[in-house]
Amino acid sequence: MRIVVLAGGIGGARFLRGLKQAAPEADITVIGNTGDDIHLFGLKVCPDLDTVMYTLGGGINEEQGWGRTDESFRVKEELAAYGVGPGWFGLGDRDFATHIVRTQMLAAGYPLSAVTEALCNRWNPGIRLLPMTDDRVETHVAVELDGERKAIHFQEYWVKLRASVPAEAVVPVGAEQAKPAPGVLEAIAAADVILFPPSNPVVSIGTILAVPGIREAIAEAGVPVIGLSPIVGGAPVRGMADKVLAAVGVEATAAAVAAHYGSGLLDGWLVDTVDEEAVAVVEAAGIRCRAVPLLMVDTDTAAEMAHRALELAGEVRA
């Protein structure tokens, strides 16, 4: 079975770990979000790709869900001693090495997809990880700060400001001109099932879908497209998805997110058991829906979620 998964960071990575357990024989291609990529200290940092790579490769800091396990911060401390910031982005020493290798390869002319493959050669994540695009896309968030309306980098909004001010708009700058990375459209066309994990529908999966050609390829693939709600009981399971949902005029409910993707894209949708009442609403919109436990407390629960998603795909196919 060939499975294509659109993934953001922590939620996507943890779901993927469950999926690998639920479908150990499957051939899994992950299309990773690169809209939250950022240049820091002259280095190219790809937080979502790295979170997937570290999580599936056994190098993740399990507690925080991002960054390396057993991490130290000596480089960052020294940069601060030079007065060089930003200090709000937590780059650890071990993590720095990843960005140094990536930046060096990019400077040598390799596209991000080739660099990602090279990095994965070390981590053996057990899936094929493709960036959504080799082109530069940067998600910016329009906010009002100190009485002034300005667009800031998503990481500044998310990590520095902790989404503490309303997001007035979310713009994946560069997406319109971006092309899907080599292999992305081919993987979608060859897929038996396409999954949207409980990643952020706006700044993770939404950004991937903003690359021209990807949404269309998924809609036309002719295979079940199954999503899992990142909203449980009217609030994000983790993160601050509600903050950016508001920016695109979508309510923070499991049913509203399904409607946001739409029946043109989604064939099936899983909501949490606490959102049982959403099932009828979603089905009325033409999307098959089931209520199952959606809290990923460990790999087993993530595997059970993946199992239920694949089960729903089977139902759709039948």
Residues annotated within the binding site are 50
Helices (H) and strands (E) in the chain, counts: 13, 14
One-letter amino acid for residue 239 of the chain: G
SS3 at position 176: helix
- Residue closer to a copy of itself, measured from CB, 22 or 119: 119
Q: Which helix (H) or strand (E) holds 278?
A: helix 278-284
Q: Tell the smallest beta-carbon distance from residue 130 to a copy of itself (Å).
A: 19
Q: Tell the smallest beta-carbon distance from residue 79 to a copy of itself (Å).
A: 5
- 270 forms beta bridges with 228, 290
26's tokens: 């499957």
Q: Tell the smallest beta-carbon distance from residue 131 to a copy of itself (Å).
A: 18
CB 25 within 8 A of CB 315: no
Nearest to 44 by CA among 112, 102, 92: 102
Q: Which helix (H) or strand (E) holds 169?
A: strand 169-173
Q: Tell the smallest beta-carbon distance from residue 95 to a copy of itself (Å).
A: 8
Helix ranges restricted to H, the chain: 10-22, 47-57, 74-81, 93-107, 112-123, 154-155, 184-190, 205-209, 214-219, 241-247, 254-261, 278-284, 299-317
Angstrom distance (rounded) from CA 43 to CA 86: 13
Angstrom distance (rounded) from CA 63 to CA 284: 39
Q: Tell the smallest beta-carbon distance from residue 94 to a copy of itself (Å).
A: 5
Q: Which helix (H) or strand (E) holds 19?
A: helix 10-22
CB 89 within 8 A of CB 53: no
Q: Tell the smallest beta-carbon distance from residue 299 to a copy of itself (Å).
A: 24
- Residue closer to a copy of itself, measured from CB, 95 or 275: 95
Which stretches of the chain bind a copy of itself, using CB under 8 A?
Answer: 41-43, 72, 74-79, 81-84, 93-94, 96-98, 100-101, 103-104, 107, 119, 122
SS3 at position 123: helix
- 207 forms beta bridges with none
CB 109 within 8 A of CB 116: no
- Residue closer to a copy of itself, measured from CB, 88 or 216: 88
Q: Tell the smallest beta-carbon distance from residue 279 to a copy of itself (Å).
A: 47
Q: What is the dihedral of CA 34, 61, 308, 233, to 10 degrees?
A: -90
